[in-house]
A and B are shown apart, each in its own frame.
Chain A
Amino acid sequence: AQSVTQLGSHVSVSEGALVLLRCNYSSSVPPYLFWYVQYPNQGLQLLLKYTSAATLVKGINGFEAEFKKSETSFHLTKPSAHMSDAAEYFCAVSDLGSGNTGKLIFGQGTTLQVKP
């Protein structure tokens, strides 16, 4: 069965600093991985997704993530944090064990705080 683990429930960076949010997955088959962002009092929106076409995936708002099979990781990065990046970020994996249903398994979430 697939699962994801997000290391660190809370990450704090200064404005302009590198953002690194960690996600590790567990899967017996090649996974399909997603990063979603949730701004305060809003629903989730897709940042990026890994579809096996390329290991480095670029998303919206300057975020990118690199799929590393050897490390079973899909960490999210952004070179320079902006105040507007403050939000909760979720890593997710498609539940391939349930067939082609589009079910997602989410990690616990990481809250990103950006300090001025």
Chain B
Amino acid sequence: NAGVTQTPKFQVLKTGQSMTLQCAQDMNHNSMYWYRQDPGMGLRLIYYSASEGTTDKGEVPNGYNVSRLNKREFSLRLESAAPSQTSVYFCASSEGHGVLETQYFGPGTRLLVL
């Protein structure tokens, strides 16, 4: 099992460009999440999908959109990148969406917006 995979590993964008971060899991999990990690701020939830066909905003959704393409895949799109979106992005998944669920994280995508 690969677990949670993310592509690309690293990306440089210019302000105003768009891109989609891809995430896939092979654990047959129902719930998936997108976080951003910034120094001194821990991880903050951008969007999540409790189950296939549903998506909801997290703590910092502005400037992002998501698509739960199927049970395996959950993508994050930046329509018009801004320097403030320079960050490390993590995708995670969990079997269910209960409060005790363990989340499994991908290796991250490092994004630099110039």
**Cβ distance A74 to chain B, nearest Cβ, rounded Å:** 15
Chain B interface category by residue count: 20 to 34
Residue B58 at the chain A interface, CB threshold 8 Å: yes
Residues in B with CB closer than 8 Å to A109 are 40, 42
Determine the chain B residues whose CB is within 8 A of the CB of A108 once the complex forms.
40-42
Distance between A44 CB and nearest chain B CB, rounded to angstroms: 4
Chain A 78-104 interface mask (CB, 8 Å, partner B; 1/0)? 000000000000100010100011111
B101 at the A interface (CB under 8 A): yes
Question: Separation in Å of the A107 CB from the closest CB of chain B?
Answer: 5
Per DSSP, chain A at the interface is: loop
Are A102 and B90 within 8 A (Cβ)?
no
A102–B41 contact, CB under 8 A? no
Contact A51 B45 (CB under 8 A): no
Pairs of residues from A and B, 6 with the lowest C-beta to C-beta distance, nearest first: A43-B105, A106-B42, A94-B99, A102-B97, A44-B105, A106-B43
Cβ–Cβ contact B42 & A90, under 8 A: yes
Known contacts A43-B105, A45-B105, A108-B40; decide if A100 and B45 are in contact (CB<8 Å): no
On whether the beta carbons of B99 and A32 are closer than 8 Å, the reply is: yes
- Are the CB atoms of B42 and A9 closer together than 8 Å? no
A1-42 vs B, Cβ < 8 Å mask (1 yes, 0 no): 000000001000000000000000000000010001000011
**CB of A46 within 8 Å of the partner chain:** yes
Verify B94–A102 contact, CB threshold 8 A.
yes
B103 engages A101 (CB within 8 Å): no
A101 touches B50 (CB 8 A): yes
Q: Provide the residues of chain A in CB contact with B26, threshold 8 Å.
A: none
Quick check: A42 and B107 within 8 Å, CB to CB?
yes
B53 within 8 A of A: no
Q: How far is the CB of B30 from chain A (nearest CB, A)?
A: 10
Q: Which residue on A lies nearest to B107, using beta carbons?
A: A43
Cβ distance B28 to chain A, nearest Cβ, rounded Å: 16
Residues of A within 8 A of B108 (CB): 41-43
